[in-house]
Chains A and B, each alone.
Chain A
Amino acid sequence: MHSRIPLFVVSLFLFASVLCDAQTATCTNWTFFNTRWPNSNHAARGINRWGTVVGNTHNAGTSLYPAFVRYPTGILNTYFAPNASATFFARRNSQGVTVGWYTDNASPIAHNHGLVVSGSSMVTVDYPGASDTFLQGINRWALSSALTMTLAPSWKRHLY
């Protein structure tokens, strides 16, 4: 009878191990890439259904902070919003419309403005009454989720 106790303990340990493994995702098809400037501070914030990735990067040693679009073919394009010190792309929908925000060059306090980019068109979105607007999501119907800030500061979330 005593000999069954260790067997039970081992079985329990194995069962627990299986449960732990079940809490780790199985990930395959890893593709690693750098932006135009390697070893930089960057983010891959969104991926649409076609595998196009959007985000932001930084040219280390400079003050350049562009946004980027990377296509599944590996082609990567960078973007600077006009009069921006930094540009960020957050999401891109299945129709290829990209949203994000940029930080302006205003002094002494810079502000952030929402961005909608479609093809060669770039439109700024500022929520009425807010000092800062960040467009963070977009779906196929072009509904955008956004974060805004007033000078208080008080953060609010909005749906456009």
Chain B
Amino acid sequence: MPEQFDPKGNEIRHLRQFAQLSGANVLEIGCGDGRLTWKYAAEPCQITGLDPDSARLAKAQQARPPGLRARLAFIQAHAEAIPLPHETFDLAILAWSL
């Protein structure tokens, strides 16, 4: 393997300890290519990934497993102007993005 990051899974373990992912409607801000998204994508009922970078979002779209299409959406936007209604999400994750 040419590169290996966080092999002990500290990041996802801490995220699970800090957030109730199961059944949640999640907004991930700065989802990029979906690096973090894929680690928890099986748990929430709905995920919206937000990122201003269209190239990275395109990678995320391409990598999105078919089984997740109905409950995983990616939107190109800045966090300063989230194009979504008020009071939509149970959980917001700033993914290396603040």
The yes or no verdict on A and B being binding partners is no
Interface residues of A (CB under 8 A from B): none
Interface residues of B (CB under 8 A from A): none
